Amino acid sequence: MLKLLVFPSRILVALALAALCVAPFALAQQPSSQQPQAQQSAPSQQPATSGQQSDQSQEPAETLKVNVNVVSLFFNVKDKHGALIPNLTRDDFEVLEDGKPQTIRYFNAESNLPLTLGIMIDSSGSQRNVLDMEKEVGGAFLKRILTDKDLAFVIDFNVDATLLQDYTRDVRLLQKALNSVKINAGFTTGPLPGAGGGPVPTAPGMTRGTVLFDAVYLGAHDMLAKEVGRKAMILLTDGQDEGSQLKLKDAIEAAQKGDVIVYVLLCADRGGYFSSGMSYYGEADMDKLTKETGGRVINVGNKFDKLKEAFDQIASELRSQYNIGYTPTNIKLDGSYRKLEIKNKENYKIQARSGYYASRNQD
């Protein structure tokens, strides 16, 4: 309609008559050209239908371009023995947000969707007797699970979190990164500058030992949150955080906001490292981290066969997920936390994240 403004003056009378007919529509369009960013700030307004456009001249044009907010959930279904249950349908599930039933918009039981994976390996002193085992079994796992559509990265953490290998589908590069990990039981203070392949900075201020929570936050917030689709993080650690600048709740929140499923493989020679009188309390933290994000903890100790079996279980779960999408009845994107629950008619166990944050910047 802006083209009307450049018509010659000799048809001014005709233009004036035409303006009487189109003025309401022109007024509705005007804010869109002046404030292009306003499209992102009106999620609660309902789009006008074609029959309403001429009657609602007071409504700005961005109401015609509201993006529908869809919550996507990846989850596993298991029987009472922990076996995966396949071949279920949309009608077998009910989704509740803050206790209120939601309408399922789409349902998918495909196991073929691309996967984005973060391998997080603890290289602190407690891992001295299990690190070589983690490298070998972890490398074999990556070779087995990654396809041409998938991507993975490797971060190790001790007194700092270091990105050893950025996103790639080249298993040889990922295995090379794993094999480069060495035990670092030292201590450092203050931030270190982060660059490609170098230390990822955490906040300054205190002595650090095993910055597990910082590493989870960085892997979720700085890496996986920017990706779309199926996303998972696997931690190889004893679960003990020592000196992270962030708290467990920060790590959980970052994973939930990034739609990241977190698995923890508890690997440690407790009879050796912790026999010196050190207390251990990491397993409870890891249990909370995984339950809140839709993963789980598998305790493997220092046993090669248990670690291999644990990786096999994770591979099966990641390739046997259901995917449900729904549009929330609560349309406010106010950053608040929404509690989620998926119910099954047969009362099977549902392994899914416990909630999400209703943010405008969902990735």
The predicted pLDDT at position 84 comes to 96
Give the least confident one: 16-30, 175-189, 210-224: 16-30
AA identity, residue 86: P
DSSP string, 230-266: EEEEEEEE----BS-SS-HHHHHHHHHHTT-EEEEEE
- Mean per-residue pLDDT, 205-233: 90
Confidence at residue 246, expressed as pLDDT on a 0 to 100 scale: 97
Can you give the pLDDT at residue 184? Answer: 86
**What are 182-207's pLDDT values in tens digits?**
998 554 444 333 323 344 444 454 45
Question: In a 10 Å sphere around its CB, with 0-12 CB exposed, 13-18 middle and 19+ buried, how is residue 263 labelled?
Answer: buried
Q: 0.85 cut: is pTM over it?
A: no
To the nearest 10 degrees (0 to 180), the angle between helices 282-293 and 248-257 is: 20
Strand order in the sheet with 355-357: 100-102, 93-97, 337-344, 355-357
* Contact (CB, 8 A) for 141 and 311: yes
pLDDT of residue 359: 83
Coil vs helix vs strand at 129: coil
Give ranges for CATH 3.40.50.410 in the chain. 115-318
Report the percentage of the chain scoring pLDDT > 70. Answer: 71
Burial-class residue 117 by CB neighbours within 10 Å (0-12, 13-18, 19+). buried
- Find the mean pLDDT for residues 326-347: 94
Instruction: Compute the average pLDDT of residues 243-253.
Output: 96
Q: What is the pLDDT of residue 3?
A: 36
pLDDT of residue 14: 40
Q: What is the pLDDT of residue 362?
A: 47
pLDDT given for residue 278 in this prediction: 57
Q: Which CATH architecture has domain 115-318?
A: 3-Layer(aba) Sandwich (3.40)
Backbone angles phi, psi at 53, to 5 degrees: -60, -40
